[in-house]
Amino acid sequence: MQHTLRAGADAARPSATLALVALAVASFGIGTTEFVIMGLLPEMATDLGVTIPQAGLLVSAYALSVTFGSPVVAVLVARLDRRRALLALVGLFILGNALCALASGYGLLMLARIVTALCHGAFFGLGSVVAADLVPPHRKASAIAAMFTGLTLANVLGVPFGTALGHAYGWRATFAAVVGIGLVAALALLAWLPRRLPAEGGDLLAEARVLRRPQVLLAMLLSVLASASLFSVFTYVAPLLAATAGATPNQITGILLLFGVGLTLGNMLGGRLGDWRLMPSVIGLAVALVATLLALVPASAGLIPATAVIGLWGILAFALVAPLQMRVLNAAEGARALASTVNQGAFNFGNAAGAWIGGVAIDAGLAYGTLPVLGAGLAAAVAAVGIVALRMDR
């Protein structure tokens, strides 16, 4: 009997692996379309006849659409079979990027970016639930991390290649290429996702009540603080390195590539830690982030030490993502898909809040070289809230 069960589990494993690959391909496309625009802003501004700050609003609109629009989309697809819901969300992604490629003016492009972003949080939210359900309980955080591997690889591969393509053939060519990635993702999901993924949607009011649980709110606060810690420094890392280490643009590009590799390694590490001891790992990673960001202050004076510390920072920062997403799923039983989607909004809200906090600090006179102290303070808040949440579990 045990041999039969083991053989059945082994036969099921490849299908789960392929399903996770399909989810990762989709997350690669979503990550690419989110971040590649930053390297194309000057060309887009010139082509559309707007200023670079106006073009930058395309980034802000995307983040706000993820934060506030994705939960609405999650509610709309809640009663669909989860396989169909994920395919519908990828269809929305393909449509949005096609509109970006065809947009004839700034207003239409803004609308297209908002449409594209609507699928972002809902896909990662529902995808996290599906990924966790594909594997045994002791591998759930690792499965979520596997899906997010696509997002980290987007920073390492998708963004540089997409930027180069845009510079060579125009920014619309980049969005056309992303449409192609979306089509590949749709085919992979269609072929490899399990046929039976029943809907989780039920009583919307009951699900909303789940979101009010103290542990759910604390889990989302952790996501906001962790993301704010990262983006309060990362948003300004290029001028920081230029001001403190005298880094050239090419050197900064190389350091950012290393940071992206760190994100990928950290994602895998976070999945394993989340499966091992979830909340102690969150607290430990936050404490390690505090030490690393404080070390970046003296290290940023030299190019080699700054590069080493920034690589470590990337590992630790993204190692928090899968455990925090898993924490929300654990705390929000009964409304996992909706809570997971809202948590993606929490991450994006943290992105915007961190960038704003860092900008306010710089405007107030804080030197670029001491900006990591601010990120360390926010990481310390992650550890503090994590300790509170852990004590409430007991």
CATH code of the domain in which 55 resides: 1.20.1250.20
**Where residue 203 falls among pLDDT bands split at 50, 70, 90?**
low
pLDDT at residue number 200: 65
Residues 166 and 256 in one domain: no
Q: Look at residues 147, 180, 201 and tell me which one is the last residue of a structural domain.
A: 201
Same structural domain, 244 and 351: yes
pLDDT in tens, 33-46: 988 887 788 889 89
Residues 184 and 329 in one domain: no
Residue 8: predicted pLDDT: 37
Question: 36: closest CA among 148, 203, 151?
Answer: 151
Count how many domains the chain has.
Answer: 2
Domain span at residue 148? 1-201
Same domain, 250 and 388: yes
- What does the alpha-carbon distance between residue 376 and residue 100 come to, in Å, rounded to a whole number? 37
In this predicted structure, the answer to whether residue 1 has a pLDDT above a threshold of 60 is no
Q: Is the pLDDT reported for residue 253 higher than 90?
A: no
pLDDT band (50, 70, 90) for residue 93: very high
Q: Are residues 132 and 176 in the same domain?
A: yes
Whether pLDDT at 351 is above 90 = no
| Amino acid in the structure at residue 103 | A
End-of-domain residue from the set 166, 184, 201: 201
Residues 23 and 128 in one domain: yes
pLDDT value at residue 4: 36
Q: Are residues 112 and 4 in the same domain?
A: yes
336 neighbors 325 (Cβ within 8 angstroms): no
Helices 278-299 + 249-276 axis angle, to 10: 160
Least confident window among 173-182, 229-238, 277-286 = 229-238
Same domain as 276, residue 142: no
Task: Kindly tell me if the per-residue pLDDT of 88 is higher than 90.
Answer: yes
288, pLDDT greater than 60: yes
Domain boundary among 201, 231, 255: 201
Kindly indicate the confidence band of residue 53, based on its pLDDT and cuts at 50, 70 and 90.
confident
HEC profile of the chain:
CHHHHHHHHHHHHHHHHHHHHHHHHHHHHHHHHHHHHHHHHHHHHHHHCCCHHHHHHHHHHHHHHHHHHHHHHHHHCCCCCHHHHHHHHHHHHHHHHHHHHHCCCHHHHHHHHHHHHHHHHHHHHHHHHHHHHCCCHHHHHHHHHHHHHHHHHHHHHHHHHHHHHHHHHCHHHHHHHHHHHHHHHHHHHHHHCCCCCCCCCCCHHHHHHHCCCHHHHHHHHHHHHHHHHHHHHHCCHHHHHHHHHCCCHHHHHHHHHHHHHHHHHHHHHHHHHHHHCHHHHHHHHHHHHHHHHHHHHHHCCCHHHHHHHHHHHHHHHHHCHHHHHHHHHHHCCCCHHHHHHHHHHHHHHHHHHHHHHHHHHHHCCCCHHHHHHHHHHHHHHHHHHHHHHHHHHC
Residue with tokens 């920034």: 310
pLDDT at 209: 83
Q: What is the pLDDT of residue 77?
A: 87
For residues 192 and 322, membership in a common domain is answered with: no
pLDDT at site 5: 32
> Left, alpha or beta for 203 (phi > 0: left; psi -120 to 50: alpha)?
beta
- pLDDT for 33: 94
Q: Which of 155, 181, 185, 154 is nearest to 23 (CA)?
A: 185
pLDDT mean over 246-263: 88
Q: What is the pLDDT of residue 28?
A: 96
| Confidence label for 14 from pLDDT (cuts 50, 70 and 90) | low
Rounded to 5°, angle at Cα 316 from 313 and 319: 145
CB < 8 Å & 24+ apart, contacts of 54-60: 54/106, 57/110, 58/109, 58/110, 58/113, 60/352
Do 364 and 306 share a domain, yes or no? Answer: yes
Judged against a pLDDT cut of 80, whether residue 152 lies above it is answered with yes
pLDDT value for 195: 84
Tokens 């590069």 belong to residue = 307
Better-scored residue on pLDDT, 198 or 372: 372
Cβ atoms of residues 113 and 58 within 8 Å = yes
How high does pLDDT run on average in the chain?
89
pTM for the full predicted model = 0.86
Over the stretch 306-316, which tens digit does the pLDDT of each residue have?
A: 999 999 999 99
If you average pLDDT over residues 204-231, what whole number do you get? 89
Is there a single domain that holds both residue 214 and residue 341? yes
Q: Flag whether pLDDT at 6 surpasses 60.
A: no
Q: In which band, very low, low, confident or very high, does the pLDDT at 7 lie, cut at 50, 70 and 90?
A: very low
CB 375 within 8 A of CB 362: no
pLDDT of amino acid 333: 86
Q: Are residues 351 and 364 in the same domain?
A: yes
